[in-house]
Chain A
Amino acid sequence: MFSALYYLWRLAPQCRRPFMLASLFKLLEALAATAALGVLLLAMDDLARAGFTGGALAAYSGLLAACLLAQLLLFYLFCRLSYPAGVDLAQVLRLKLGEHLPKLSLGFFNSTSVGRLNSVVSDELMMTEHLPTLVLPQLITAAAVPIFTLGLLCWLDWRLFLCALALLPLSLLIFRRGQSSLTAQLDRRSALARQLNQEMVEYIQGMEALQAYNGTGSFLDKLGKLFIVMRDRNIKLARSGPAYLNGGNTVLALAPAAILILGCQLLSEGLIPAPALVSCLVIGLYAYEPLKGLGLAVEIYKLCEPGLTELKKVLDTPRLPTPPRPRSPRSYDIILQDVCFAYESRRVLNHVSFTARAGEITALVGPSGAGKSTLVNLMARMWDVQAGAVLIGGVDLRHMEPAELNQAVSMVFQDVRLFNDTVFNNIALGREGASPQEVRNAAQEAWAHEFIMALPRRYETVIGEGGGRLSRGQRQRIAIARALLKGSPIVLLDEATASLDPESQRMIQQALASLLRGRTAVVIAHRLETITEADSIVVMGQDGEVSAVGNHESLLQGCTLYQELWRARLRAGGWRLGLGRAGGSDAQA
């Protein structure tokens, strides 16, 4: 918990001052609270000495009122300083995150890390603002009040002080035991919770299949059983956690009993006056009271923890290293020199070398898993190569300014990310300060203009989250218009893009034709007939190696893998439902 507070302390220097002042006020507030107890003790002391007079009563009443007023004022000041500072803290953390993200490599933004990040930024990051506003004051009170009151007790009688103090280590021991057993159980519980969560997600996402195959009943039985296991585990957890907590609290609550016995012993031996014993008894009743607030503090801290851990992980992810003296490419040839790459332990690319010449179309073909997509990702520096080099115009990608590289390369893949914004802004993203006419021209070239004009507010129509209200073909053409406006000399393309939406593939093909004109194009190809005219075809083998490079004719002659792929494609292309294979028997692979 303290390390988390320290981490925030380092991360947000602008919040330090208000928090220090707020802590000071909180400390003074605890002092005022103890003073109120002190006044009460004085009054009782007078009662015990039979010196309780009207004058004394007036003085004590005044003092008590003053203490309570001071407490009110100090707590107000504490709130006034710490609450806005808590808000500031959450703001600072979010801004830090926002600033840091664009500096990470594109490879960071895979689905798992994005999913995790999404889940923490909303709820858990928000909880961190409670660390200083709720956890810190609880800690201060829990530490300060017992110190003040026990100090008073020590001043009254050191033996009774030691007696009360002796309870502290015992109860802390119990709390600690509870804490560690709780942590262990919580871990087991969260594993179960993850499993349950996954099963429920699967239930929702697989509803179609479950219904179609009459599997709902048995899945519901499975869920029902898991719900019961989860309930029982939770109930068990709820039995042991509070047991320790109540145990520790009970030990602390024994203070007045201990003081009573020892005190009476001392009283009988004349070692303590009766009025002092009264005070000691009352102190024993209240000294440890604030420690109960620690439970709440720990609970809140546990809620913030996942958000902080995730935040720390992201902020600690190193930025993409930028070259000290960046170089600019002289041309837009892409050269791969002996490139190797592995995802964790799985080797994906094996000593790959070839050149994609500027202004030409280079196609990548091969069975799935041959590393075609990885190759293209390396050309955009989503990841850095592990051996060898990728060069554009003779310059290693790692020696280029990242912004310049991004400007030089456009990617047109199957997933299209559109923003929750107007069509115009989504296209204009391609170039800073693009004029309406330029946006329109790009849309026309991408065959998107006509359907945009059929939208309710034309170019000003806001398209939903991720562009959800447009067909895939329409989203694809908006993305192409954007890329046209960007005008990068290099285009990396997944050919499947063209046929994701067969009803509108003709229009996408037209749009792609505009996009590729005169640029360096690297194309991942699935339907080989579309790339028979490519300037160069790179055939990738199953093990991530280049098995041949050439044009369509030469590969048909000389590459067995290419021949095999070509024959399969011809067979697939001639398939007719209800007839089997066109022009031949129904082959059974």
Chain B
Amino acid sequence: MRTKGDQAAPQLSLGWIFRQNRGALAMALLWAVGAEAAGLLALAAVCLAVVWAIDGSLLAQGMSRPLWLAAWLLAAILAKGLGAYLSTASAHKVAFEFLRQTRSRLVERLADMPLGFFNQRNTGQIKKILWEDVERLEAFIAHNIPDVLASAVNLILAAGLLLALDWRVGLAAVGVALGCGAVYGLATGRHRNLYEQWCEANENLNAAMIEYIQGMPAIKAFNRPSRFFAALGKAIDDCARLEKELVAKWYWPMAVFTVGSRAGLAAILPLGGWLHLQGELTTGALVMLLLLGFHFGSGFLSLLSFGASLEQNSAGITRINSLLAGPVMPWPAEGEGSEPGTGLSGRDLAFSYPQGPEALRGVDFSAPPGRVLALVGPSGSGKTTLARLMARFWDPDQGRVLFGEADARQICWPRLMKQVAFVFQDAHLFSGTIGENIALGRPEASREAIEACARQAQCHEFIAGLPQGYDTRIGDRGVQLSGGERQRLCIARALLKDAPVVIFDEATSFLDPLCEAQVQDAISRLCQGKTVVVIAHRMETVVAVDEIILMDQGLAVARGGHEELLAHSRLYAELWAAQQGAAVWKIGQGVGPADRGGRILQKRERGYV
């Protein structure tokens, strides 16, 4: 098994790709050389036939010369087809192996990142990089690289041949091709600014379109399609305007690009013809020059367009690299570092989210073995952040989280994960069977053990009622579970893991009354005899715990038992009063404008959370 956080991920670059696949790319190059050489040989055969036809010697030995030439031609054409095929096949092999390596490295890298990295926003971006950006490299490696190889080989061989046949004509033809290339090449680099503007407009358009689609129910509910359509229309128009401006820069370069492949002829015919009339160029040489000139230049232009596709891919490569260079948590090697002790505590913890405000400042906490610690406070006060530091989703900027005497950073990953179970609100179930999902932490667990935990978590009954019991698949192609059922499965999973420390977020998502009671029973079972930290949203559920920490704006402002806090902390008393008032609320009743508890909450609330 691999160890976490032990390898540096090399950055992705074209050079890296080439170095990694030197052998296969050399093969692709070799085959391309073969194919292009065979192509020129075929051309030479036709050329010879033309020359012999012109001087009347084609049938000098009956059909033997034509047959011999035809055999040559046939062999050359077949060789060219075979070479081109093998060259593409090798390039594809490189490309797909490269895709595999890149994805493997990316997914392994993800496993080493702080869990806090995987928030909602990031998930979408990571998905896009793993799938689209990596996939796009295939076209680049498998198609552009062999194209470029073939073009370069063709260019070198044909130019050499042209120069060898007659250096003056060859020079002129190469000169014309270079001229066309210069026109096109100059145009490629010049409009970067406009191109970037257009990319931005395009991104805006996509965002506007997606907001329009996702917001459509709200837009319709408020009868305002015209306003939103106007905004979308503007984004569409902006994008189209910039794109038109951009494509307008390409009319001439594209025309030059297309005609440029045979522009060399314009030099070869007059110059070659004149030299022929002067007697300095044989008929055969002239014919060969003309036939060569028909396509000479296309190679050169393909080389230029390689630059453009390289640029298109560089954005994707940059994104892939930024993910490879993402934050990584250092972990001690497996089996090394400290042994975690019992109980959980934290000293002087401070933490800020990347590019975010300070979320915790100077927080101490202690959850002795077998005791229950509750975190309460207004929303945005730092309860969840603190719980996430305990499970090492992030490392604190300052201070330490201790398992017994051992710093969490000194404990190797498998040991730490054995120590803690967490049950958060949006626990994920994997597509697979119910049994597999419960046994996630202990794949070797027996069916009996799984069932025992399922019973304790109050979910055996509904599982037994499913068509295939514990072998029923969940997810897209299987049964859909209700929120309460999912929560109980996650609790069963935690029960089977049987870690000494349990951190859980008291659920706030709403279940029907029957479900809710069952989930509560399951949680009670999970917490029996464990060190427990609970993030409590409803204060009434934690009145009986051993210690409560009251959080406010990133600080631990008070701690103690419920009665103690009620007597000594004004904020606690006010929050309690507000929630008690909320608990007896009936729909259709206000609590009155003079509602003191509500007013206090309102004052405590932050702008952004």
Are A509 and B582 interface neighbours, CB within 8 A?
yes
Are A368 and B608 interface neighbours, CB within 8 A?
no
Interface segment among B6-14, B309-317, B336-344, B511-519: the answer is B511-519
B406: Cβ under 8 A from any A Cβ: no
Are B115 and A208 interface neighbours, CB within 8 A?
yes
Query: A10-51 CB contact bits vs B (8 Å, 1 = yes)?
Result: 000000000000000000000000001101100110011000
B597: Cβ under 8 A from any A Cβ: yes
- Please give the distance in Å from B7's CB to the nearest CB on chain A: 13
Are A577 and B517 interface neighbours, CB within 8 A?
no
Cα A201 to Cα B126 with chains together (Å)? 9
Query: A77-107 CB contact bits vs B (8 Å, 1 = yes)?
Result: 0011001101110110011001101100010
Residues of chain A within 8 A (CB-CB) of B364 are none
Q: Which residues of A, 255-278, contact B by the 8 Å Cβ criterion?
A: 256-257, 260-261, 263-265, 267-268, 274-275, 277-278
Residues of chain A within 8 A (CB-CB) of B601 are 503-504, 506-507
Are B110 and A471 interface neighbours, CB within 8 A?
no
Residues of chain A within 8 A (CB-CB) of B294 are 37, 40, 286
B104: Cβ under 8 A from any A Cβ: yes
B290 and chain A: residue at smallest CB distance? A40
Using known A-B contacts A68-B266, A217-B2, A506-B579, determine if residue A429 contacts B89 with beta carbons closer than 8 Å.
no
Contacting residue for B512 out of A114, A256, A368, A580, CB 8 A: A368
Are B67 and A577 interface neighbours, CB within 8 A?
no
A330: Cβ under 8 A from any B Cβ: no
Q: Which residues of B, 299-315, contact A by the 8 Å Cβ criterion?
A: none
Residues of chain A within 8 A (CB-CB) of B215 are 417, 419
Query: A179-206 CB contact bits vs B (8 Å, 1 = yes)?
Result: 0000000000000000001101111111
Cα A94 to Cα B111 with chains together (Å)? 39
Residues of chain B within 8 A (CB-CB) of A470 are 608-609
Interface segment among B252-260, B446-454, B464-472: the answer is B252-260
Are A44 and B287 interface neighbours, CB within 8 A?
yes
A442: Cβ under 8 A from any B Cβ: no
Are B54 and A47 interface neighbours, CB within 8 A?
yes
Using known A-B contacts A91-B240, A417-B215, A526-B513, determine if residue A83 contacts B417 with beta carbons closer than 8 Å.
no
Contacting residue for A281 out of B50, B266, B377, CB 8 A: B50
Cα A158 to Cα B590 with chains together (Å)? 96
Residues of chain A within 8 A (CB-CB) of B74 are 254, 257
Are A526 and B510 interface neighbours, CB within 8 A?
yes
Number of chain B residues close to chain A: CB under 8 A: 194
Residues of chain A within 8 A (CB-CB) of B536 are 577
Residues of chain B within 8 A (CB-CB) of A544 are none
Contacting residue for A36 out of B256, B262, B428, CB 8 A: B262
A494 and chain B: residue at smallest CB distance? B510
Query: A216-256 CB contact bits vs B (8 Å, 1 = yes)?
Result: 11101001100110110011001100110011011001101
Residues of chain B within 8 A (CB-CB) of A452 are 607
Using known A-B contacts A213-B493, A282-B291, determine if residue A57 contacts B270 with beta carbons closer than 8 Å.
yes
Q: Which residues of B, 1-32, contact A by the 8 Å Cβ criterion?
A: 1-2
Residues of chain A within 8 A (CB-CB) of B523 are 577
- Please give the distance in Å from B285's CB to the nearest CB on chain A: 12
Are B93 and A260 interface neighbours, CB within 8 A?
no
Using known A-B contacts A429-B222, A450-B602, A502-B538, determine if residue A510 contacts B212 with beta carbons closer than 8 Å.
no
Query: B515-536 CB contact bits vs A (8 Å, 1 = yes)?
Result: 1111011011001000010101
Interface segment among B167-175, B188-196, B230-238, B563-571: the answer is B230-238
Interface range, A side: 35 or more
Residues of chain A within 8 A (CB-CB) of B511 are 368, 526
Cα A486 to Cα B218 with chains together (Å)? 12
- Please give the distance in Å from B128's CB to the nearest CB on chain A: 10
A460: Cβ under 8 A from any B Cβ: no
Cα A587 to Cα B524 with chains together (Å)? 11
Are A223 and B66 interface neighbours, CB within 8 A?
no
Using known A-B contacts A102-B216, A235-B96, determine if residue A565 contacts B513 with beta carbons closer than 8 Å.
yes
B146 and chain A: residue at smallest CB distance? A242
Contacting residue for A205 out of B123, B291, B584, CB 8 A: B123
Residues of chain A within 8 A (CB-CB) of B493 are 209, 213
Using known A-B contacts A75-B258, A231-B99, A274-B54, determine if residue A534 contacts B588 with beta carbons closer than 8 Å.
yes
Q: Which residues of B, 222-275, contact A by the 8 Å Cβ criterion?
A: 222-225, 227, 229, 232-233, 236-237, 239-240, 243-244, 247-248, 250-252, 254-256, 258-259, 262-263, 265-266, 269-270, 273-274
Using known A-B contacts A264-B63, A277-B53, determine if residue A211 contacts B417 with beta carbons closer than 8 Å.
yes
Are B236 and A217 interface neighbours, CB within 8 A?
no
Are B482 and A368 interface neighbours, CB within 8 A?
yes
B160: Cβ under 8 A from any A Cβ: no
B541: Cβ under 8 A from any A Cβ: yes
- Please give the distance in Å from A491's CB to the nearest CB on chain B: 11
A498: Cβ under 8 A from any B Cβ: yes
A149: Cβ under 8 A from any B Cβ: no
A61 and chain B: residue at smallest CB distance? B270
Residues of chain B within 8 A (CB-CB) of A209 are 427-428, 430, 440, 490, 493
Are A220 and B108 interface neighbours, CB within 8 A?
yes
Are A95 and B233 interface neighbours, CB within 8 A?
yes
Are B513 and A207 interface neighbours, CB within 8 A?
no
- Please give the distance in Å from B274's CB to the nearest CB on chain A: 7
A514: Cβ under 8 A from any B Cβ: yes
Q: Which residues of B, 391-407, contact A by the 8 Å Cβ criterion?
A: 391, 393
Residues of chain B within 8 A (CB-CB) of A380 are 221
Cα A53 to Cα B273 with chains together (Å)? 9
Cα A498 to Cα B216 with chains together (Å)? 24
Are B209 and A94 interface neighbours, CB within 8 A?
yes
- Please give the distance in Å from B558's CB to the nearest CB on chain A: 16
Are A577 and B224 interface neighbours, CB within 8 A?
no
- Please give the distance in Å from A577's CB to the nearest CB on chain B: 5
Residues of chain A within 8 A (CB-CB) of B248 are 80, 83-84
B178: Cβ under 8 A from any A Cβ: no
Are A68 and B236 interface neighbours, CB within 8 A?
no
Residues of chain B within 8 A (CB-CB) of A529 are 584, 586
B355: Cβ under 8 A from any A Cβ: no
Residues of chain B within 8 A (CB-CB) of A216 are 111
Interface segment among A383-391, A392-400, A404-412: the answer is A404-412
Residues of chain B within 8 A (CB-CB) of A68 are 259, 262-263, 265-266
Are A117 and B213 interface neighbours, CB within 8 A?
yes
B126 and chain A: residue at smallest CB distance? A204
B206 and chain A: residue at smallest CB distance? A122
Are A367 and B587 interface neighbours, CB within 8 A?
no
Contacting residue for A417 out of B49, B214, B595, CB 8 A: B214
Are A450 and B605 interface neighbours, CB within 8 A?
yes
Interface segment among A334-342, A347-355, A566-574: the answer is A566-574
Cα A5 to Cα B541 with chains together (Å)? 64
Are A207 and B115 interface neighbours, CB within 8 A?
yes
Contacting residue for B277 out of A57, A506, A513, CB 8 A: A57
B97: Cβ under 8 A from any A Cβ: yes
A369: Cβ under 8 A from any B Cβ: yes
A333: Cβ under 8 A from any B Cβ: no
Using known A-B contacts A109-B216, A122-B206, A526-B512, determine if residue A87 contacts B244 with beta carbons closer than 8 Å.
yes
- Please give the distance in Å from B478's CB to the nearest CB on chain A: 13
Cα A465 to Cα B212 with chains together (Å)? 12
Residue among A204, A243, A285, A473 with most chain B CB within 10 A: A204
Residues of chain B within 8 A (CB-CB) of A126 are 202
Are A75 and B255 interface neighbours, CB within 8 A?
yes
Are B222 and A198 interface neighbours, CB within 8 A?
no
A-B complex: 10 closest residue pairs judged by Cβ atoms? A238-B92, A513-B590, A496-B510, A213-B441, A250-B81, A264-B66, A102-B225, A569-B513, A454-B607, A502-B537
Residue contacts A-B, CB under 8 angstroms, 19 given: A53-B277, A68-B263, A109-B213, A200-B130, A204-B126, A230-B99, A267-B58, A268-B59, A268-B63, A468-B121, A500-B509, A505-B582, A506-B598, A534-B587, A577-B506, A577-B524, A578-B545, A578-B546, A586-B521
Known: A118-B214, A380-B221, A513-B588. 11 other contacts (CB 8 A): A98-B212, A114-B214, A261-B66, A281-B50, A368-B484, A411-B221, A527-B510, A529-B584, A530-B587, A531-B586, A532-B586
